[in-house]
């Protein structure tokens, strides 16, 4: 769906039940492309802890993706600094299985990429996508990301950048 209106906002502890609900309902979907989100967050407590305790040694900007009309949380998206490159961030995301194919992810990628390059002052945004994840590849291409090749450390991952 072109022109989907989404809200992309920083995660807070009160988002825990909704985010855990999406993860819990989508575990098989989340693990199909070597994403460990479904296995890492087995309880609301684990989700809340992660929201309240950002990782050490990297900067992260973690956000919920919400339907712009209903406010329903549909997924998660984040920016993470890349080691040795303070001017570049990597974008990562997931969408609840029931929200696939409705334009949410492309809208959220556009929003957060624009925020990274303007408000947050980064020069470039990268993404790493499993080579079988056609929907994610399509969303990135729709948002103007360009293919950069195969990850030299693991050939199952494709690299994209703005």
**pTM score, two decimals?**
0.91
- Which residue, chain included where needed, has tokens 């990597």? 90
Task: List the chain pLDDT tens, one digit each, 162 residues.
Answer: 455 799 999 999 999 999 999 999 998 888 877 777 877 898 999 999 999 988 877 889 999 999 999 999 999 999 999 778 889 999 999 999 999 999 999 999 999 999 999 999 999 999 999 989 999 999 999 999 999 999 999 999 999 999
Q: What's the CATH number of domain 6-161, 3.40.630.30, 3.40.50.300, 3.90.280.10, 3.40.50.10420?
A: 3.40.630.30
DSSP summary character for residue 54: P
**For residues 78 and 55, is the Cβ–Cβ distance under 8 A?**
no
Phi and psi torsions of 120, nearest 5°: -90, -10
Please name which of 53, 32, 31, 55 lies closest in space to residue 42, comparing C-alpha atoms: 31
pLDDT tens for 47-93 read 999 999 888 778 899 999 999 999 999 999 999 997 788 899 999 99
The ranges assigned to domains in the chain are 6-161
The arrangement of strands across the sheet holding 157-161 comes to 6-10, 60-67, 73-82, 85-95, 124-130, 157-161, 146-150
């Amino acid at each position: 769906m072109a022109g989907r209106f989404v809200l992309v906002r920083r995660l807070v502890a009160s988002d825990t039940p909704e985010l855990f609900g999406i993860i819990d309902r989508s575990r098989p979907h989340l693990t199909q492309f070597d994403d460990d989100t479904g296995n890492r967050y087995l309880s609301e407590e684990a989700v809340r802890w992660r929201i309240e305790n950002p990782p050490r040694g990297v900067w992260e900007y973690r956000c919920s993706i919400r339907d712009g009309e209903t406010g329903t949380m549909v997924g998660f998206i984040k920016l993470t600094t890349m080691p040795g490159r303070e001017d570049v961030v990597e974008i990562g995301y997931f969408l609840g299985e029931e929200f696939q194919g409705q334009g949410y992810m492309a809208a959220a990628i556009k929003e957060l990429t624009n925020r990274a390059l303007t408000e947050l002052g980064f020069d470039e945004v990268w993404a790493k996508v499993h080579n079988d994840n056609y929907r994610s590849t399509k969303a990135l291409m729709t948002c103007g990301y360009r293919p950069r090749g195969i990850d030299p450390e693991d050939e199952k991952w494709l690299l994209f950048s703005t």
